[in-house]
């Protein structure tokens, strides 16, 4: 969905800085790390201590990373190769346990933070930057402790064997998504990177076969460059989907290993209730999305083009079927039912982002113990029952931060344009209040509330007037509000 980015003026930037500070306070976002945490992190960075026997040496594998531009907290590095008629995936994940002592100050602070939070003017990391963007990050040219997954695939991309061990690795190349995509498209990618597309497409085909679904929802992306903020819609590149398939592959392998061992923590999502699917069908009809009754939901999703406004609006509405995801702990061989993540259409867990998400450190240790045939460390077992509520609270806070930041930037960028009219598309209407809903502007890149006197025409273009753009609006009040002309 190409859009002209919405850029700040000097006045907007002056408004944003204090407003972002206020937002952090209102949401109870952790501030600077305590001195004791920073001191422990400095010591850990200087002398990492991976638990257990000496890690394997995998520094000879030329790993690469693919992340958003400017990322420094690199959780994963990849090496892909052909193996007989199939493939071998080496997937290295940062070994956070090599730096975080159970029960120490870093550990306690990580449980308070739960996950990294992202603001327009910087992130609030899960771990001190000396670790998350330094000694624990899989930066190019640096030898790092890692959990190294080796997953062999057949010619169709199906998992044949999977295992994980501690290792030391050295990434060779750091790529952003656009660079990876360009090299693959123009034929300059070396084989390990070129295989990202080949394996990614195979895994996407298997996802279709399973009945799984990945939503390519265009994002409202806030960027900051030379002190200027921009807000634009961005649809994911194909390379992002292929890269995500490797993370899904690893998460599925980890879930299978934990289920076989009888102890673990899964990421689960129940099947959407029939009522939710029926409501989504009504939305599809209003947005003029063709959805024959015999066609499954997942197949409709794959037919959509996120660059088309109505398709993008429907994709955003489809996220309603993904609500209800959570974490499920099991021990003693008592496998939860259901154990499948409905969108993945397979058992699944989070294990590939331990620098940014608390639970991943624990799933990594569970898998290591299972593969080695050893008992699960006591510090892992004792934390399991507390992880689901911790992660749920962290996810709620992260979601609130993300939406609040976009609302705030929209308000700051539009504050001098109150009274102007814009072309938009009504992408949502409240079921019990049909005169209120959500409008997506064609230009600039804004999605905001709209309220009028009559029923809003869902799925139809509408000329709207900006009636409010107030970065300082009190909590619970829309910072940006439009009305039909």
Task: Write out pLDDT tens, residues 111-154.
Answer: 999 999 988 888 899 999 999 999 999 999 999 999 999 999 99
Rg (CA), the chain: 23
Judged by average pLDDT, the poorest of 66-70, 74-78, 264-268 is 66-70
297 — pLDDT class (breaks 50, 70, 90):
confident
Element spanning 389, H or E: helix 387-414
Q: Is 193 helix (H, G, I), strand (E, B) or coil?
A: helix
Q: For residue range 386-437, what is the model confidence (pLDDT) as tens digits?
A: 999 999 999 999 989 888 888 888 888 888 899 999 998 888 888 889 999 9
What pLDDT, on a 0 to 100 scale, did the predictor assign at position 8? 44
14 — pLDDT class (breaks 50, 70, 90):
low
What pLDDT, on a 0 to 100 scale, did the predictor assign at position 16? 78
Residues 6 or more apart whose Cβ sits within 8 Å of residue 395: 115
> Token pair for residue 401?
């931060």
What pLDDT, on a 0 to 100 scale, did the predictor assign at position 12? 52
- Whether the predicted pLDDT of 355 surpasses 70: yes
What pLDDT, on a 0 to 100 scale, did the predictor assign at position 460? 84
Q: Which residue has the higher pLDDT, 215 or 203?
A: 203
- Whether the predicted pLDDT of 74 surpasses 90: yes
What pLDDT, on a 0 to 100 scale, did the predictor assign at position 120? 82
Q: Which residue has the higher pLDDT, 443 or 263?
A: 263
Share above pLDDT 90 across residues of the chain, in percent, rounded to a whole number:
62
* Contact (Cβ atoms closer than 8 angstroms) between residue 392 and residue 359: no
Give the closest residue to 38 by CA, choosing from 99, 129, 123, 133: 129
Residues 6 or more apart whose Cβ sits within 8 Å of residue 252: 159, 344, 346, 347, 348
What pLDDT, on a 0 to 100 scale, did the predictor assign at position 70? 85
- Residue 146 phi/psi, 5-degree rounding, is -150, 160
Count of Cβ atoms closer than 10 Å to residue 49 Cβ: 10
* Contact (Cβ atoms closer than 8 angstroms) between residue 310 and residue 218: no
Domain architecture of the chain: domains with CATH: 32-270+324-385 (no CATH), 275-316 (no CATH), 417-484 (2.40.50.140)
CA angle 396, 297, 327 (to 5 degrees): 30
> Token pair for residue 237?
């590149």
- Whether the predicted pLDDT of 476 surpasses 60: yes
What pLDDT, on a 0 to 100 scale, did the predictor assign at position 279? 82
- Whether the predicted pLDDT of 455 surpasses 60: yes
- Whether the predicted pLDDT of 309 surpasses 80: no
What pLDDT, on a 0 to 100 scale, did the predictor assign at position 225? 67
> Token pair for residue 15?
């408004």
Give the closest residue to 139 by CA, choosing from 77, 183, 191: 77
What pLDDT, on a 0 to 100 scale, did the predictor assign at position 227? 64
Q: For residue range 90-101, what is the model confidence (pLDDT) as tens digits?
A: 999 999 999 999
What pLDDT, on a 0 to 100 scale, did the predictor assign at position 475? 76
What pLDDT, on a 0 to 100 scale, did the predictor assign at position 224? 67
What pLDDT, on a 0 to 100 scale, did the predictor assign at position 5? 36
CA distance 284 to 11: 41
Instruction: Report DSSP state, residue 98.
Output: G
Q: Which residue has the higher pLDDT, 44 or 231?
A: 44
Question: Per-residue pLDDT averaged across 233-246, rounded?
Answer: 91
Asked if the bond preceding 444 is cis, omega within 30° of 0, the reply is yes
Residues 6 or more apart whose Cβ sits within 8 Å of residue 212: 298, 343, 344, 345, 346
What pLDDT, on a 0 to 100 scale, did the predictor assign at position 366? 98
Span between the terminal Cα atoms of the chain, in Å: 25
The per-residue DSSP string of 267-334 comes to EEBPPPPHHHHHHHHHHHHHTT----TTS-HHHHHHT--TTSHHHHHHHHHHGGGGTT-EEEEE-TT-
Share above pLDDT 70 across residues of the chain, in percent, rounded to a whole number:
95
- Whether the predicted pLDDT of 177 surpasses 80: yes
- Whether the predicted pLDDT of 34 surpasses 70: yes
Count of Cβ atoms closer than 10 Å to residue 165 Cβ: 18
Question: Residue length, the chain?
Answer: 485
In three-state form (DSSP H/G/I as H, E/B as E, the rest C), the secondary structure along 468-480 is EECCCCCCCCCCE
Count of Cβ atoms closer than 10 Å to residue 336 Cβ: 15
Average pLDDT, the chain: 90
| Parallel, antiparallel or unpaired: strands 159-176 and 56-57 | parallel
pTM of the model: 0.89
- Whether the predicted pLDDT of 13 surpasses 70: no
Judged by average pLDDT, the poorest of 176-180, 218-222, 411-415 is 218-222
Residues 6 or more apart whose Cβ sits within 8 Å of residue 337: none
């Amino acid at each position: 969905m190409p859009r002209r980015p919405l850029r700040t003026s000097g006045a907007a930037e002056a408004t944003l800085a204090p407003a972002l500070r206020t937002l952090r306070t209102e949401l109870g976002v952790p501030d600077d790390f305590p001195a004791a945490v920073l001191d422990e992190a400095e010591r850990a960075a200087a002398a990492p201590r991976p638990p257990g026997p000496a890690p394997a040496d995998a520094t000879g594998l030329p790993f690469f990373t693919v992340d958003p531009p400017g990322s420094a907290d690199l959780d994963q590095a990849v090496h892909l190769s052909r193996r007989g008629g199939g493939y071998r995936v080496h997937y290295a994940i940062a070994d956070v346990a090599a730096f975080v002592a159970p029960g120490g100050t870093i550990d306690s602070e990580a449980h308070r933070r739960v996950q990294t939070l992202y603001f327009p003017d910087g992130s609030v990391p899960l771990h001190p930057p000396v670790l998350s963007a330094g000694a624990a990050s899989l930066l190019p040219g640096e030898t790092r402790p890692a959990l190294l997954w080796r997953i062999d695939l057949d010619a169709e991309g199906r998992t044949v064997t999977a295992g994980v061990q501690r290792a030391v690795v050295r990434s060779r190349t750091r790529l952003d998504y656009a660079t990876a995509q360009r090299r693959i498209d123009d034929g300059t990618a070396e084989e390990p990177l070129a295989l990202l597309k080949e394996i990614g497409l195979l895994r996407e085909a298997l996802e279709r076969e399973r009945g799984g679904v990945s939503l390519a929802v265009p994002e409202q992306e806030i960027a900051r460059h030379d002190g200027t903020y921009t807000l634009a819609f961005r649809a994911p590149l194909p390379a992002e989907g292929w890269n995500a398939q490797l993370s899904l592959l690893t998460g599925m392998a980890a879930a299978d290993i934990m289920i076989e061992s009888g102890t673990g923590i899964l990421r689960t999502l129940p099947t959407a209730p029939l009522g939710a699917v029926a409501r989504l069908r009504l939305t599809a009809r209003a947005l003029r999305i063709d959805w024959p009754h015999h066609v499954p939901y997942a197949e409709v999703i794959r037919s959509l083009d996120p660059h088309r406004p109505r398709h993008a609006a429907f994709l955003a509405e489809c996220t309603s079927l993904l609500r209800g995801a959570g974490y499920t702990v099991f021990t003693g061989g008592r496998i939860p039912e259901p154990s499948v993540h409905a969108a993945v259409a397979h058992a699944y867990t989070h294990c590939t982002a331990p620098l940014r998400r608390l639970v991943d450190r624990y799933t990594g240790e569970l898998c290591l113990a299972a593969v080695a045939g050893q008992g699960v460390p006591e510090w892992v077992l004792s934390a399991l029952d507390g992880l689901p509520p911790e992660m749920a609270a962290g996810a709620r806070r992260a979601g609130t931060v993300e939406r609040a930041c976009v609302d705030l930037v929209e308000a700051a960028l539009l504050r001098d344009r109150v009274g102007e009219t814009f072309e938009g598309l009504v992408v949502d209407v409240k079921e019990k209040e049909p005169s209120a809903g959500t409008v997506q502007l064609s230009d600039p890149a804004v999605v905001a509330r709209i309220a009028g006197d009559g029923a809003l025409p869902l799925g139809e273009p509408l000329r709207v007037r900006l009636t409010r753009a107030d970065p300082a609006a009190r909590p619970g009040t829309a910072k940006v509000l439009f009305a039909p002309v």
